[in-house]
Amino acid sequence: MTEPHAFWQATPDDSLHTLAATRDGLPSDEAAARLDRDGPNEVSAAKRRHFLLDLLRRLGNPLIAILLVAAGIAGATGDLASFAIIFIVVVLSTTLDLVQEHRAEATAEALRRAIALHATVLRDGKPIELPVRELVAGDIVMLAAGDLVPADGIVLAANGAQVNEALLTGEPYPVEKQVEPATAAETPAEAHNALFQGTSLIGGTATLLVVQTGPRTRFGAIARSLAGKQPTTAFEHGIHKLGVLIVRLTIFLVLFVLLAHLALGRPPLQSFLFAMALAVGLTPELLPMIMTVALGRGAQRMAKAKVVVKRLSAIHDLGQMDILCTDKTGTLTEARITLVGQPGIDGDDDERVAELAAVNARFETGLKSPLDQALLLHMTGRSLEGWRKLDERPFDFERRRVAVLAEQGSERIEIVKGAPETLLALCTRAQDRSGEFVPLDDALRARLCALREDRAAQGLRLLAIAWKPAAGQDRIDARGEDELVFAGYCVFVDPPKPSATSAVARLEAAGIRIKVISGDAAPVIQHLVAALALPVEGILTGDEIAKLNDQALAARVEQVDLFARVTPDQKTRIVRALRARGHTVGFIGDGINDAPAIRAADVGLSVDGATDVAREAADMILLAPDLCVLADGVAEGRRTYANIMKYVRMGTSSNFGNMLTMAIASLFLPFLPLTPVQVLLNNLLYDLSEIGIPFDTADSGDLARPQGWDIRGLVRFTAIMGPLSSLFDFATFALLLGVFHVGIPEFRTAWFMESMLTQILVVFVIRTSRPAWSSRPHIVLTVTALAGLAAALLLPLLPSADLLGFAIPGATIFGAIALLVVGYLASAEFLKRFALRPAGSAR
């Protein structure tokens, strides 16, 4: 596709002119005017649907459509009661669903705003932090490694600006951006001076002149739709399969009942309405609502526990997570790094080493690590005046070092700091305290290695500092990063976080194995986990991982809990290997280097202060960088899961069982066991009684283990509880017809009451695997269930009840029903120990 006037073909000055902008940024009043004119820098695809449209979409749902057709037929045949009840069912299930979903969305939106991305923008000549949505064309944005590009535009200045454009080109390798206009470039992929919204800076820095914002950006829309597309989790998949199964069964059952009735010569309309009512009764019409409410409430409660959920369905994954991979800094350590030593080659502190390191840190523009901050903090008071920067080769996680070309007076040198193992190997000479060069012979090398190992064994973090003369050079030669002069080490302490010990213990107690994956050296990590007394075993280094293929790695990851000196790519490989072993894997990290692994994990986690790319990749953000917070979140995830399962179990056993009995009984009884209206009423009251389920508390047993979709467990549950329910149903029939010889209206009334009582009350039995009386249900559940029950029991007793076909049975019949219900609940209580999977046998 040729684009003759693409914005990247113009020179920076022409673009500035066109946009009436300057390199000092827009005046704030002008920016406000532009924001008014162009609208916020957001992609409209994320806009909320209109309430009415949403309603229409729902009415088009086949389930609802069936109900509407049924209501229409009922209305047309003058069966006003059926019409009204079906109508109420439709209104109830759609509005509940709609309202809850909108509420959940509004909550999610508010939470998202709390973690909105910010950008550094020049306004009125000064850099300020603004929410990304307030950017306008003509803004000047300062970007550093780890930032997401907030809008489309051109580069006004760049230094080692490595950009990941995978979103745009599918190309995983970063491209370097330059200032020169790409006059010949026809496609965005060739525009080496353009930055596009949704791509990310993974190294270096860049200054962006914003040309397009909001919906007018090239790839914003794609980026947003990709980011917004929520892949279905295993749990949702399972629920969906269950839904399909139920629909099939329903259709089969309804057709069977209908045809059988017709073959038996029953009145066609009556049979049709009865079959229809059964279908209505069988459909789990509240399932979407239950899931939305459960997830929405889960998200809200997690926000209170300082975990912001970006992808709602990740709550299930969190509940199912059985392995958590974490990086080291910030989660296991305080991330308050201080410089505690700067030994030269003789092992004693040498200020020159710290100074070189600080010059490097000061001029490093790419990724500012806490190590750099510690170096600069150490130098406060002592001046780095006189140093001038000429060039830089930014940090990246493969080389693990950063080079800066700088001069002081007439001395021009290239200063390199980075991971000691690799940097020392690049050095050929060393410099002693007096400034003399000494050969870096084997003996000295061995001494330096010993020094390094000694410090690392004490849990101290090390950077090596080296340099080389660069007289007459203005640029760093990317090929010539060797023949360095070794200057010394900088030694840092990052104190272990004492709270990590108890947090890890809580997670372990909850059945979650912790693995530490870090770019740091093995001894440092080993010392740290020993200091925190973490229950971890084995260690694997990046070099070893590099030699393993994916299969071999998958065989090793299970036993090993520590991974040292790994590259970002290896972090991802470890996550994939664990997933391939069938684990549900969480990954928590904060850096650019963590982002790919965060994305690859089932549950991507990041912290509030993390880089943009890490936060963007994450499903959840911890507002406090603390694993304790996560332990609370896990409990919420499992509770959400447990409550959804309660509804599913209720549906598969009691509700389904009841409808099944009714279908079968209708064939053997000379009359319908319930009129269609009564079936519908039964279903409506049952629905009402279940509204409180998502609010319920969960058993400690449900919270103690990872909870995953378990279709076999569900089948076993249904196989035990379903027949039990049918047994008591048939007992009721036998009693009513064989012993009491009741009339049809009394039969229906008694059976209506019995089925409502058993269906509704059994929730108090199966909501917990502990004895029902020892686990208190949530008040909302108790109230909704009892209210539904009260309505079911009172309705037949009202004076107008004969309109619905009810007639009050005698007192002995009430007594018999009460006994049957008690018998049923007691048997359910006894049998549930076999039906409910005991906690701890997950997977």
Ligand X SMILES: Nc1ncnc2c1ncn2[C@@H]1O[C@H](COP(=O)(O)OP(=O)(O)OP(=O)(O)O)[C@@H](O)[C@H]1O
The minimum distance between CB 188 and Mg ion, in angstroms, equals 31
> Residue 310 gets which letter from DSSP?
S
Helix (H) or strand (E) holding 289: helix 287-304
706 binds, among Mg ion, ligand X, none (CB under 5 to 8 A by kind): none
CB 661, CB 724: distance < 8 Å: no
> Between helices 711-734 and 627-650, what is the axis angle to 10°?
40
372 binds, among Mg ion, ligand X, none (CB under 5 to 8 A by kind): ligand X
Does residue number 591 form part of the binding site for Mg ion (CB under 5 A)? yes
10 Å Cβ neighbour count for 653?
A: 26
DSSP string, 19-70: TT--TT-B-HHHHHHHHHHH--SS-GGGSPPPHHHHHHHHHTSHHHHHHHHH
Q: What is the SS3 assignment for 579-634?
A: HHCCCCEEEECCCHHHHHHHHHCCEEEEECCCCHHHHHHCCEEECCCCHHHHHHHH
Query: CB-hemisphere CA count at 13 Å for 420?
Result: 26
The minimum distance between CB 65 and ligand X, in angstroms, equals 54
β 140-144/200-212 pair status: antiparallel
- For residue 502, the SS3 value is helix
748 binds, among ligand X, Mg ion, none (CB under 5 to 8 A by kind): none
402 binds, among Mg ion, ligand X, none (CB under 5 to 8 A by kind): ligand X
Nearer to ligand X by C-beta: 207 or 331? 331
Q: What is the SS3 assignment for 160-220?
A: EEEEECHHHHCCCCCEECCCCCCCCCCCHHHCCCEECCCCEEEEEEEEEEEEECHHHCCCH
Nearer to Mg ion by C-beta: 100 or 329? 329
CB 212, CB 188: distance < 8 Å: no
Nearer to ligand X by C-beta: 146 or 519? 519
- Nearest CA to 700 among 648, 641, 644, 638? 638
746 binds, among Mg ion, ligand X, none (CB under 5 to 8 A by kind): none
- Cα gap 371→353, rounded to integer Å: 14
Note every long-range contact of 773-778, with CB atoms under 8 Å and residues 24 or more positions apart, other chains counting.
775/697, 775/699, 776/697, 777/696, 777/697, 778/692, 778/695, 778/696, 778/697
Question: 195 — phi, psi (to 5°)?
Answer: -120, 140
Angle formed at CA 566 by CA 522 and CA 575, multiple of 5 degrees: 115
Structure token pair of residue 95: 């509005």
x/- string (CB under 5 A) for Mg ion, residues 310-349? -----------------x-x--------------------
395 binds, among ligand X, Mg ion, none (CB under 5 to 8 A by kind): ligand X
Nearer to Mg ion by C-beta: 215 or 609? 609
CB 621, CB 607: distance < 8 Å: yes
10 Å Cβ neighbour count for 217?
A: 24
The count of residues in the chain is 843
Nearer to ligand X by C-beta: 457 or 734? 457
Does residue number 101 form part of the binding site for Mg ion (CB under 5 A)? no
Is the Cα dihedral 233, 239, 242, 247 positive or negative?
negative
The minimum distance between CB 164 and Mg ion, in angstroms, equals 18
The minimum distance between CB 590 and Mg ion, in angstroms, equals 6
Give me the catalytic one of 322, 327, 590, 699: 327
The minimum distance between CB 494 and ligand X, in angstroms, equals 8
Catalytic annotation present for 327: yes
- For residue 673, the SS3 value is coil
The minimum distance between CB 569 and ligand X, in angstroms, equals 12
- Cα gap 74→676, rounded to integer Å: 10
For ligand X, the binding residues (CB under 6 A) are 327-329, 369, 371-372, 395, 400-402, 417-419, 463, 518-520, 591, 593
729 binds, among Mg ion, ligand X, none (CB under 5 to 8 A by kind): none
101 binds, among ligand X, Mg ion, none (CB under 5 to 8 A by kind): none
Does residue number 729 form part of the binding site for Mg ion (CB under 5 A)? no
523 binds, among ligand X, Mg ion, none (CB under 5 to 8 A by kind): none
For ligand X, the nearest residue by Cβ is 519
Nearer to ligand X by C-beta: 397 or 752? 397
10 Å Cβ neighbour count for 810?
A: 12
The minimum distance between CB 17 and ligand X, in angstroms, equals 38
- Nearest CA to 491 among 637, 623, 341, 368? 341
The minimum distance between CB 589 and Mg ion, in angstroms, equals 6
Nearer to Mg ion by C-beta: 371 or 507? 371
The minimum distance between CB 718 and ligand X, in angstroms, equals 46
> Residue 435 gets which letter from DSSP?
S
Nearer to ligand X by C-beta: 15 or 205? 205
The minimum distance between CB 203 and ligand X, in angstroms, equals 12
For Mg ion (CB under 5 A), the number of binding residues is 3
Nearer to Mg ion by C-beta: 316 or 615? 615
417 binds, among ligand X, Mg ion, none (CB under 5 to 8 A by kind): ligand X
Nearer to Mg ion by C-beta: 607 or 735? 607
Query: Contact residues for Mg ion (CB under 5 A)?
Result: 327, 329, 591
Known catalytic residues are: 327
